[in-house]
Structures are given as C-alpha cells and as structure tokens.
C-alpha cells in the first residue's frame, strides 16, 4: 500500500502529548501513565485511528493504546484528535517488539483489517502468526482476548487455525458482521467503512482463553 507523505509529520509527532516517545521505559507500569488501574485495550495497526479514538471517547473507564509503525499515518491520527482524551495514548513501533514494551498488563487486543500478507513466504508477518501469538502470551494480564475484523477471507481462515492451535476459544464468529448487526451501532475503522461501502463482507471473531466468557 502506498502511503501519502505528511510533510510536517516529524513536527506533529514531536509536539503530540498523545505519542509516548520512550515506550520501553513503561514496561510493566503502563497504569502509571493513565494514573489508574483500569483495563488496558490496545489496537495493533490502528491506521488513522478512527476506531480507537471513538472507543476512548465512548468508554472513559478503559485505557486505550493505539500502535502504528508508519509516521505519516500516525500524524494523520494525531491531527484527528479534536478534544482532550485522557484515556488514550499512541505508540510508534513495529509490533514485533511488543513484548519489550508490555508485560502482563494488557486486557484486550484489537486487530482490525491487519495487512493480509498474501504470499505464503510472508505469512509469518501476519499479526496472528505463531510469532505474534507467542509474544501476545507475554503481554496479557490474565484472560487473553483478541478481537479480530478483516475483509480478507484467507487471513480470516488462517487466523482461525493459528488461534485454535494456540488454545484460544473462538466466539462471535461472523462471516458478514454488518449484515448481522443491523440494530447495533458499531464503532468502525477507516478501512471497514470503505469495504462496507463496496458491499464487501466483513469477517469477525473474538478469541479468548476463557471458555466461559460470553
Ligand atoms: C490495512 S491498515 C488498517 C488500518 C486500520 N486498522 C483500519 O482498519 O482502518 C493496517 C495498518 O497496520 C499497520 N501495521 C501493519 N503491521 C504492523 C506492525 N507489525 N506493527 C505496527 N503497525 C503495523 C500498517 O502500517 C497499517 O497502517
């Protein structure tokens, strides 16, 4: 995917109060940044941030952390934050180092429209590959919860397999989320809005380590 350059991105990132510049310093103590012990939900590959910004506004008693590796995209996200949101922060990093940044303190991970990496030799880069699932094991506090949405059927079936092999229970499986949840107001992502407009089905699931969780 070609990313449109944001000219003054460095300035936007440097001046942002939302961007944590030294994330490894907070390993094991992210609650100190928020000044509370509320649950922490992270979105990996948050893109321009619509989903996480709207969630943070809607759920002030949850702490949200958005993770993104592309500077221009991060700058676009930061420009979008139009009010003070005390329960939101943003980290610039490749999720490959996620277990150097968090330790047993995350309650939920959102993976929304993650890059599909269609070639087999690149599957290890998928955010639901065994490499990443092993890392997530180290960052979850207790119960593991991964919320996944994608338009990509191949990534979806691959993820069902890797998550199941990793002893996750799968629930809320949907092969056409937006058709099934006509009544419910969903918080959507930028990519999702585009795909829904194109009438593409959205595949979704929740993977959890707790069989009893509804
Ligand atoms: C297809 S976009 C989806 C963006 C957003 N979640 C949405 O649904 O609109 C995937 C995003 O994930 C980011 N990304 C992919 N792999 C990543 C990684 N390993 N670490 C951090 N960000 C990553 C990309 O830079 C890109 O912005």
Could you read off the pLDDT of 99-131 as tens digits, one per residue?
A: 999 999 999 999 999 999 999 999 999 999 999
Query: Which residue has its alpha carbon closest to ligand 1 atom 17?
Result: 45
Going by pLDDT thresholds of 50, 70 and 90, the confidence category of residue 183 is low
105/10 Cα distance (integer angstroms): 30
According to the model, what pLDDT value does residue 111 have? 98
134 noted as active-site residue: no
Strand residue runs (E) in the chain: 19-20, 40-44, 63-68, 88-92, 108-112, 145-150, 169-174, 203-208
Going from N- to C-terminal start, the domains of the chain cover 9-208
For residues 17-25, average pLDDT: 96
For residues 69-89, average pLDDT: 94
Q: From residue 210, give the alpha-carbon distance in Å to each of 136, 149, 164, 200, 214.
A: 15, 20, 13, 31, 9
Query: Which residue has its alpha carbon closest to ligand 1 atom 12?
Result: 45
CA of 123 to the centre of ligand 1 (A): 15
Over 80: is that where the pLDDT of 182 sits?
A: no
pLDDT tens sequence across 30-64? 999 999 999 999 999 999 999 999 999 999 999 99
Topology of the domain covering 9-208: Rossmann fold (3.40.50)
32/122 Cα distance (integer angstroms): 37
Going by pLDDT thresholds of 50, 70 and 90, the confidence category of residue 213 is low
What is the value of pTM for the model shown? Answer: 0.96
Over 60: is that where the pLDDT of 146 sits?
A: yes
Q: Tell me if 100 sits within 8 A of 24, measured CB to CB.
A: yes
Ligand 1 cavity residues, CB under 6 Å:
44-47, 67-70, 73, 94-96, 112-115, 189-192
Q: Count CB-CB contacts under 10 A for residue 13.
A: 19
- Among residues 25, 82, 115, 137, the one annotated as catalytic is 115
Over 70: is that where the pLDDT of 95 sits?
A: yes
């Amino acid at each position: 995917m070609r990313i449109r350059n944001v000219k003054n991105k460095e300035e936007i990132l440097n001046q942002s109060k939302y961007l944590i510049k030294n994330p490894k310093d907070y390993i094991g103590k992210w609650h100190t940044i928020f000044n509370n012990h509320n649950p922490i939900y992270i979105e990996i590959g948050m893109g321009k941030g619509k989903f996480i910004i709207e969630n943070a506004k809607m759920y002030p008693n949850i702490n949200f952390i958005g993770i993104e590796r592309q500077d221009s995209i991060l700058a676009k996200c930061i420009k979008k934050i139009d009010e003070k949101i005390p329960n939101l922060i943003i980290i610039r990093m490749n999720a490959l180092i996620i277990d150097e940044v968090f330790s047993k303190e995350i309650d939920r991970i959102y993976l929304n429209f993650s890059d599909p990496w269609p070639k087999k030799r690149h599957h290890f880069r998928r955010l639901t590959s065994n490499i990443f699932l092993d890392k997530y094991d180290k960052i979850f506090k207790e119960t593991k919860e991964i919320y996944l949405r994608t338009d990509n059927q191949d990534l979806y079936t691959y993820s069902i397999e890797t998550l199941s092999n990793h002893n996750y229970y799968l629930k809320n499986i949907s092969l056409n989320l937006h058709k099934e949840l006509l009544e419910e107001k969903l918080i959507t992502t930028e990519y999702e809005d585009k795909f829904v407009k194109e009438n593409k089905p959205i595949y979704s699931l929740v993977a959890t380590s707790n069989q009893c969780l509804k």
